Structure 1
Amino acid sequence: MTVFGIAWKTLRARKAAFFGAFVALFCGTVVIAASGILVESGLRTSVRPERYAGAAVMVGGDQTLRIPGGDFTVRETLPERARLKESTLRAVARVPGVERAVGEHSFAAVVPGAATGPLYGHGWDSAVLGPFRLSEGEAPASATDVVLDPAVAEAAGARVGGRITVVVESVPARYRVSGIAAPADGAGLDRQSALFFTPATASRLSGHPGAFDAVGVLAADGADAEALADRIEKAVPGTVAYTGDDRSRLEFPDIGSSSGLLLLVATSFGGMAAFVAMFVVAGTLGLSVDQRRREFAVLRAIGSTPRQVYKLVLSEALLVAVVAGVLGCAPGAAVAELLRGLFAGLGAIPDDLPLVVGPAPMVAALVLGVATALVAGLIAAHRPARINPVDAFGEAAVERRGLPVWRVMLGLVLLGVGTLSAVMPLVVRSELGAAGAGGAALIGLVGLSLLGPLVVRALVAVLALPLRASRVSGFLAASNSAAAARRMSSAVMPLVLAIGFSVTLVYTQTTMSAVAGRQVEEGLGADYVVGDGGSGGLAPRVVEQVRAVGDVEVATAVSTSKAFMSVTVFEDKELAGFSLRGVTPEKLSRTIDLGVVDGDIGHLRGRTLAMEDTQASLLGASVGEQVELYLGDGTPTRLKLVATYERAMGFGEMTVPQEVLTGHTTARAPGQLLVRVRDGGDHAAVGAALRALAEKHPSLSVSDREGFSAGVREEATLAAWINLAGLAMILAYIAIAVVNTLVVATAARSREFALMRLIGMTRGQVIRTLRWESLLMCSIAVLLGTAMTVLPLGALSVAFLGRPQPAGSPLIYLAVVAAAVVLGMVSTMLPVRLALRARPVEAIGVRE
């Protein structure tokens, strides 16, 4: 009989022994498959195109940033639109198979009083890409004409020939409604509404004359869209051609940003989930093999070679992993859809953004599960395969007390790495440093699990002292726990993981949310904040009108974007992303106090840069040096570092003069004005004047500093909830792993319980003994789990809050601990009660 045949018979005969490993692998596959599906969706998901439905191919700028040494990250659009020049339009039109190439302008607009979804203006020449057909009226013929889609016309109560107000960059203008147009297929516009102007007017209103957001292609008769797209990309360098539903990535700006967010969250938590899954699977398989010590001792005694023991264990692990992996793929898709719904409910992604469920994530989850099982099986089989048969029989009766040297050394190394990761926020006071807290929890917990039997034995010796005063139950509980430290460690570590991981990551989110709000409250010097209300920014004349208000000392214009820097990590080049703010530098310190550490923020003029202090130190950038970076549209630039600061969580990791971002952001105009009232000025009068200005510019929003701070806290809270939604999947898996491990570990002791009753103990005494053991186990888990959170959360809090206590209610900690203790007690005591239903004489004869 082959080794697989023996392994299959073993699995069938010892279902209970392998049940725990099966559950761990099954749930691990579900978690990893769900993460993989979210990753693939972030790369490939799209929706049905609407305004571009009539174009065979849509051509956009290359949104992938490339640096010497390789491509940057993933197929994620850059935060700012890479526009196309008029020469690109002509080049696309010359490609064989192109009947007509149409340049497309797209810019945000607002129609006051019309409650529609996102509204964008376009040139009428691009209406053919729908194609749109006039249902009433005529095409726009003058600079004051506009064509509406039916939804806008209905919401605004507009009719052909009437007048309507359209606000672009906060500037209202009156237009004559020359016509109403809808898609020719009658499908309508579900995700956004459209306005059409003359091509010249659209080019002017877009703020980027001479450039296009995209180029639409109408194909010649018989031309294949995919082949045409390939020819365009080859003929016109620097462009990307989209066909099918992928055309929506150019049409809808939120698809690219949402896909990027989905990819970022899924990649982050997918890697974390895979790490946790490997930890849990390794522990469960090790427990399964440890429970069969007597069986392996017999195999060695009758002549089985170490190679044969290895092959048997690996064959068993392979069979269990394949079955569990295949069965876990389909539920993985369901979990991914659940997470997609959570993200959509939080507003992180659109409701209609679908998942892409392909074979790749399933295969990857299956392969990773199998590989994890084989590695875990190899480690677990090492001792049974190599031990002397005589010693094996001895260890089958009484577990050995020591640990292999390699295990102790590796555990200490991982604890050291976890410690270094935990103090990372003290060195890098940014989101990157905060991420070290979660990594420290995981790495430290793995190191602790390797040292588990030693640590648990030492804690049992101390914590079990009061129990030894008991005559029966407590004394036996203490003695059992001391004699079976390995078994106790296997039961304790999943609980430690649940407590340490949950507390660390939840309090990390609450702390970072509090930090963002606190930095804004401390650093915001403005008295009022004026926003554009979704109209595409604040035009220069609106900015000047705000600055002209009496008693206004300064109004700082603010734009948001992202920058990238090339960094070297282990001799490989990568790109690091940084949140970027563009500001008008005049009297900047009166509206924003960035908490300058080095340099002078007053020198922030021209081609200059200020950045967060610890990030600058980490990158080796000093004040006065030139820094090379890439702007949000991929444009490389060199800026002089003139200052470093500490309030990056509230105001961005990099700050540059507004002129540096000119022409490199999707919206031409800044999105906010921070208004400071001069000392001794009339704050109420300034507020009234700003609100009066908002009545003339209907899209403007005016809030005081408290309202602005509240908005920042809400954004930070939303980001925390998005992260916690991803964590929920991992925490659920950890909870299942806790129950699974404890049930399997307890159920395997049925013969021990029967023996206790046969020597005279009552059923109640056995239950009390196991209850004391469970309480001791939970106490050790709470102690270790809490200890593992002290350093990462303490360092995080000291770095950002100046105190050792993290932000957030203590009830969070109490709830996590209570949930872990309840899980531990129920998962232990329920199998005990079930095992005690059998007669002791029958239970003592059950095979191990």
Structure 2
Amino acid sequence: MLRLALATSRGRLLSLAGPFVALLFAVALVASCGLLMDSGLRARVPAERYGAAPVVVAGQQQVTLDTEEPDLGQSLSEPVAIPAVLARKIAKVPGVTRVVPETSFPVGLTGADGRVIGRSWGSAGLTPYTLREGRAPATAGEIVVDVALGRKVGEKARVAGRDGVREYTVTGVAGPGLARQASVFFTGERAEELFARPGKVSAFGVFGEGERLAERVERALGDSVAVYAGDQRGLAENASAREGREMLIALSGSLGGVIVMVAVLVVSGAFGLAVRQRDREIALLRAIGATPKQVRAMIGREALAVGTVAAVPGLPLGVAVGRWLFDQFVARGMVPEGFTPVVGPVPMLVAAGVGLVTAWLAARGAVRRAASIKPTEALGEAAVERRELGRGRMIVGLVFLALGASASGLSVAAAGETAAASAGAIVLLLITAAALLGPWLVQLAVRLAGGVVGRTSPVSGYLAVANTRTAAKRLAAVATPLILMFAFASTTLFAQSTLGHAATQQALEGNRADYVLESAGPGLPPDVVRAARDLPGVKGVTETIGTTVIADTDEMGSRTLKPLDAIGLTVPAHGIDLGVTSGSLDRLRGDRVALSTLTAGSLGASVGDTVRLRLGDGTPVKLTVVALYERGLGYGDVALPYPLVRDHSEAGMAGRVYVTGGTAERLTALAPGLTVLDRAGAGAAVNAAQEFSDWINLLVLGLIIVFIAISVVNTLVTATGARTREFALLRLIGGTRRQVRGMVRWEALLVGGLAVITGTLIAAPTLMALSYGVTGSPLPHVPSVAYAAMVAATMGLAYVATLTPARTVLLGRPAEQIRG
């Protein structure tokens, strides 16, 4: 059977081109996702600030539930401080010679761009920093600066910290100079004041002897802290390193799952078309004595051969795509500089395995009927396509359709995040149903449009309608990837536009301030805010801090942790309107909290109830709900008292300040580097932030659409090219080239129109569920220009990919073609 499979494959290279191309790109995309995941799992970030310390002890940046059930945990958005008394315990570990505490915090240095790290001079040896000029700081008004900051000994420098802007004297300049993590060193006492966590430190650098020093320290301290060694020390320096690592793992996992789903549908359609083009050959093999098992084995081995050949160029292409994606993430700051992509054997083997298994299953499924029916029936169906669906395919298709329709109805009846979360399941169910029931959809389209087409074009239109009726399965195999492309693209694109539009609108409608203050540094210090309040004409000032909290809640009878975007704000709130529906924000003080209506619905909370949250640094709190508000997408799911968020944030400064009244000139003069935005400027900043967050979704969508589009073109070209004998016969009985081209043109329009309408019907309930869940309205935001462009692209793709090979086929002589 292997020899026969290879022999038949050599004679069927055109029909196997579709499966080959689909498998090649499927393997490439799975390999690129595997590279990203492997890079996240085995992330190595060279240590800078802790470069001299063999071992670093820092806080656990994940919080988990104290339950017996498996719990992946949730990452914390703020660095976790650890008790300073742990130094004694670490010092007792065998082999430890020295323990150096580190207190680090972001500060703003006038004239410096980017992130500047405030530190105690006592931790300079962890890098190690050494003085290039001058001396160490001796008083609270003295600092040593990184040589990368370009300051000189003796000059004055203004530094913004959580207690305000202070002027310091530069007493020393230290190297080696870290451009990405430039440091400003204070005295130990002053660093503790700015760190503002009495009795705690950021980390410990541990020096000692022995190859397993980190293991001994980890055994001594247990799970309460994290111990880093080697290249892992870089993860302890910067929260963005941990976030980048987790982003790579989460993104590659979700993207890989979608790609596998799309690949199964596309490859199945490609193999189904290839096998249908060989119905006569398979029927003859059955007629001369081949058993069903032998036929299935032949096609299965043939598919494995195609999959193996496709993996050869697919794997290096996947590595190139993965590296490109990685570089894009680094360029946009989503992955910190210093991260390096990892190309390991496991992701490559998995990608090749996925391609081979998908090919084998798709081919075996496509040949199942031809191999199982009687040889006489197989010969009959090879001559005339069987019009009715197989019983199994029909039943499974109807089940998926019923499940999709039920999920759509239940999601609209549900509220809050339940409706939004069901959108992905709805689109998968309906796309699968459309793929299985494709021949029915083609026949339905012909019944609806056949009369109009026939009257419009009596010859070419009539031929197209007649051919579509008798070859519904073949056209369904062509239409399925187009339906998949349109449905997936419209769902992803318009889900993004719906969420983005709602968030932008809520942010704009809730901004009642005349000006919004921002800073290029870590935040706005309190004395700048106080000065703004004292300006003539200023009626109100509201400070805000963005953060992420984790809700400890019950879902379906089990405890779970849910990350939520949150905002800390001062009250009474001036210039910012969250759209309160019940309760009052004026009571947002102490141990109180306000929730968006969406979050309140998912947590089952209302005014007066108590909710359990973990703040950005993991501190557990129990807070009483005092208000519910509508504009959660624009301002965050949770609103907290400003002092509570500030005291548990790394910078301890306001991220944004909303000012009512005053003038832009006086506000700008409050501090160097201060950005003052009016309402129009604040709206533009919101749009820019939304565009940046949408980039990742567009990137993912683009990769998948390119994959589907290439498969669509290849399938259409293959299907049209395989109709050489049919076109030749039409010309021999009197049809002209123009009439045959007209028939193909009408078929392309029917298939393209079917893809647009079916894709729209699939996307509509999905988007309605999402929109209703997050905005309360079942009408999604669908830009008309974008929808029209997608329709034009789908129709154009179907038209060009069908007409181009048809024109080539029609150039030949029909008498010679009919003999071939």
- For Structure 1 versus Structure 2, the TM-score category normalised by the shorter chain is over 0.9
Q: 1:742 to 1:638 in 2, by over 3 A?
A: same
1:195 to 184, 190, 200: 184
What amino acid maps onto 2:521 in structure 1?
A: G
| 2:617 paired residue number | 633
2:704 corresponds to 1:733: no
Q: Aligned residue for 2:114?
A: 117
Q: How many residues align?
A: 817
Please identify, of 814-823 and 126-135, the stretch whose mean Cα deviation from structure 2 is larger. Answer: 814-823
Residue 342 of structure 1 is matched in structure 2 by 328
Q: Does 1:668 align with 2:645?
A: no
- Aligned-residue offset at 1:500: 2.1
The answer to whether the 8 Å contact 1:269/1:727 transfers is no
**Structure 1 position 127 matched with structure 2 position 113:** no
**AA paired with 1:504?**
T
> Matched residues in 2 for 1:645 and 1:306: separation?
65
CA shift for structure 1 position 572: 6.9
Give, in whole Å, the separation in 2 of the partners of 1:819 and 1:476: 26
* CA-CA distance at 1:720 after TM superposition: 1.2
Alignment partner, residue 89 of structure 1: 87
Q: For 2:595 and 2:346, how far apart are their aligned partners in 1?
A: 40
Query: Could you tell me how far apart the structure 1 residues matched to 2:329 and 2:405 are?
Result: 33
User: Partner of 2:59 in structure 1?
Assistant: 61
Code of the residue aligned with 1:741 in structure 2: it is T
Inter-CA distance 170–198: structure 2 relative to 1 (3 Å threshold): closer
| 1:171 aligned partner | 164
**How far 1:14 sits from its partner (Å)?**
2.1
Cα distance between partner residues in 1 of 2:732 and 2:485: 37
Cα distance in 1 between the residues matched to 2:586 and 2:138: 49
How big is each residue's C-alpha offset from its partner over 1:469-489, in whole Å with a ceiling of 9 and x where there is no partner? 444322211111111111111
- d(CA) in 2 for partners of 1:627 and 1:117? 37
1:834 aligned residue (797, 803, 808): 808
Q: 1:48 aligns with which of 46, 49, 65?
A: 46
In structure 2, the residue matched to 1:680 is none
Alignment match, 1:36: 34
1:42 counterpart letter in structure 2: G
Give the aligned residue type for 2:179. D
Q: What pairs with 1:479-490 in structure 2 (closer than 5 Å)?
A: 479-490=466-477
For residues 706 and 472 of structure 1, the distance between their equivalents in structure 2, rounded to whole angstroms, comes to 59
Q: Equivalent residue for 1:507?
A: 494
- Give deviations 1:408-437, integer Å, cap 9, x for gaps: 343233334444665788567778855654
Deviation, 1:249, is: 1.7
Name 2:308's counterpart in structure 1: 322
TM-score normalised according to structure 2 size: 0.93
Q: 1:71: how far off?
A: 5.4
1:704 to 1:421, Cα distance in 2 relative to 1, 3 A: farther
Instruction: Give the 3 Å change call, closer, same or farther, for CA 727–844 of structure 1 in structure 2.
Output: same
Q: Deviations over 1:557-597 (max 9, x none)?
A: 3222212235666777653221122223x323x54332334
Amino acid at match of 1:134: L
Q: 2:599 matched to 1:606?
A: no
**Which residue pairs with 2:764 in the alignment?**
790
SS in structure 2 at match of 1:109? strand
Give the Cα–Cα distance (whole angstroms) in 1 for the partners of residues 775 and 554 of structure 2: 30
The residue that corresponds to 1:208 in the other structure is: 197
CA contact (8 A) 2:79 2:239 kept: no
Confirm whether residue 463 of structure 1 aligns to residue 449 of structure 2. Answer: yes
Task: Give distance in 2, aligned partners of 1:272 and 1:264.
Answer: 13
Partner of 1:507, secondary structure, is helix
Give the distance between the partners of 2:468 and 2:696, measured in 1 at CA: 41
- Cα distance in structure 1, aligned partners of 2:84 and 2:163: 28
Tell me the distance in 2 between the aligned counterparts of 1:334 and 1:424.
Answer: 43
The two structures have a TM-score, normalised by structure 1, of 0.90
DSSP 3-state at the match of 1:181 = strand
Query: Partners in 2 of 1:794 and 1:63 — Cα distance?
Result: 37
1:103: Cα distance to partner? 1.1
User: 396-405 or 553-562, which moves further after superposition?
Assistant: 553-562
| 1:654 pairs with 2:638 | yes
Aligned position for 2:382: 396
55-64 or 759-768: bigger deviation: 759-768
Checking the alignment, whether the CA contact within 8 Å between 1:160 and 1:180 is kept in structure 2 is: yes
The answer for unaligned runs of 5 or more in structure 2 is: none
SS at match of 1:674: strand
C-alpha change, 1:832 and 1:571, in structure 2 (3 Å) is farther
SS class of match (2:108): coil
CA distance in 2, matches of 1:423, 1:352: 48
- CA 308–829 in structure 1, closer or farther in 2 if over 3 Å, else same: same
RMSD of equivalent CA atoms: 2.8
Q: Measure how far apart 1:738 and its partner are.
A: 0.7
Q: Structure 1 241/405 Cα, relative in aligned 2: closer, same or farther at 3 Å? A: same
User: What is the CA distance between 1:28 and its match in structure 2?
Assistant: 0.6
Paired position in structure 2 for 1:385: 371
- Cα deviation for residue 715 of structure 1 reads 1.0
CA distance in 1, matches of 2:300, 2:198: 66
Amino acid at match of 1:245: D
Secondary structure (helix, strand or coil) at the match of 1:277 reads helix
Q: 2: CA distance between counterparts of 1:743 and 1:242?
A: 55
**Aligned partners of 1:59 and 1:214 also within 8 Å:** yes
Alpha carbons of structure 1 residues 180 and 431: separation in structure 2 relative to 1, 3 Å: farther
Question: Does the CA contact (< 8 Å) of 1:797 and 1:804 recur in 2?
Answer: yes
CA distance in 2, matches of 1:330, 1:807: 40
What corresponds to 1:149 in structure 2? 146
Match of 2:299 in 1: 313
Deviations 1:267-305 (A, max 9, x none): 332222221111111211222222222222223333333
Question: Measured at CA, do residues 129 and 318 of structure 1 come closer, stay the same or move farther in structure 2, by a change above 3 Å?
Answer: same
Query: Greater CA deviation, 424-433 or 99-108?
Result: 424-433
Which amino acid letter does the alignment assign opposite residue 232 of structure 1? V
Partner in structure 2 of residue 747 of structure 1: 721
| Mapped pair 1:473 → 2:460 | yes
Q: What is aligned with 1:524?
A: 511
Cα distance in 1 for partners of 2:776, 2:558 equals: 35
Cα pair 1:107 1:205 within 8 Å, conserved = yes
Matched residues in 2 for 1:89 and 1:824: separation?
A: 69
Native 8 Å contact 2:133 2:172 kept in 1: yes
**Partner Cα separation in structure 2 for residue 487 and residue 813 of structure 1:** 28
Greater Cα shift, 660-669 or 792-801: 792-801
